[in-house]
């Protein structure tokens, strides 16, 4: 992958409690902005090979398949549309959810999006001019939503997400 962006924050949850929530692949729509539903599409519900389809506002969807799984800490997922690969501008993309013990019953969440772009030099220019900031902002929004959902159990609405961003 040519590009990688990360965002991290701490949560007032012990690592084991955060991991119990993170390992549930069926709840992404409660904290990821722009998702309307999550459907597990394999017999596996967790671990390498488990796959989900996340449904987006406006009717789109993306498949997410677990490619690595580290019990108690996190996993990597490959983003794709069926067997077609990823939609433009991405050639390929993967997302890492990772948890680290931050001490004092706290957990550090680290989200990373790694990707390569289509279009050669134009893709590189696109990354430099716009993609990086947008990706980092999206990672922040996912992290804030995930922390809120893990702490409250409530689906994060656009209004609540805006409040969380203002309070940051």
99-133 pLDDT, tens per residue? 999 999 999 999 999 988 775 555 555 555 555 56
108 in Cβ contact with 102 (< 8 Å)? yes
| Residue 4 in this model has a pLDDT that exceeds 70 | yes
For residue 156, give both structure tokens. Answer: 């994060």
CATH number at residue 119: 3.30.530.20
For residue 5, give both structure tokens. Answer: 């962006």
For residue 30, give both structure tokens. Answer: 């409660």
Strand order in the sheet with 61-70: 3-11, 106-117, 90-103, 74-80, 61-70, 51-56, 35-40
pTM: 0.90
- Pinpoint the alpha helices (H) of 23-157: 120-126, 132-152
Residue 65: the pLDDT is 97
Q: What is the Cα–Cα distance from 120 to 22, expressed in whole angstroms?
A: 35
Alpha carbon 38 to its chain centroid, in Å, reads: 13
Q: What is the mean pLDDT of residues 125-151?
A: 80
Across the chain, what does the average pLDDT equal? 90
| Residue 165 in this model has a pLDDT that exceeds 70 | yes
Residue 151: the pLDDT is 97
| Total structural domains within the chain | 1
Residue 83: the pLDDT is 79
Q: What is the mean pLDDT of residues 8-22?
A: 98
Structural domain boundaries enclosing 161: 3-167
């Amino acid at each position: 992958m040519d590009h990688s962006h990360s965002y991290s924050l701490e949560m007032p949850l012990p690592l084991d409690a955060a991991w119990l929530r993170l390992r549930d692949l069926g709840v992404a729509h409660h904290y990821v902005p722009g998702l309307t539903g999550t459907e597990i599409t394999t017999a596996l519900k967790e671990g390498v090979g488990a796959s989900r389809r996340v449904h987006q506002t406006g009717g789109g969807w993306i498949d997410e398949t677990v490619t690595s799984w580290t019990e108690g800490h996190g996993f990597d997922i490959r983003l794709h549309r069926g067997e077609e690969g990823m939609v433009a501008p991405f050639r390929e993309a993967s997302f890492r959810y990772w948890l680290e013990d931050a001490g004092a019953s706290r957990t550090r969440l680290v989200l990373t999006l790694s990707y390569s772009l289509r279009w050669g030099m134009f893709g590189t220019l696109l990354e430099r001019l716009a993609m990086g900031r947008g990706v980092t902002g999206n990672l922040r929004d996912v992290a804030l939503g995930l922390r809120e959902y893990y702490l409250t159990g409530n689906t994060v609405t656009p209004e609540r997400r805006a409040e969380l961003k203002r309070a940051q």
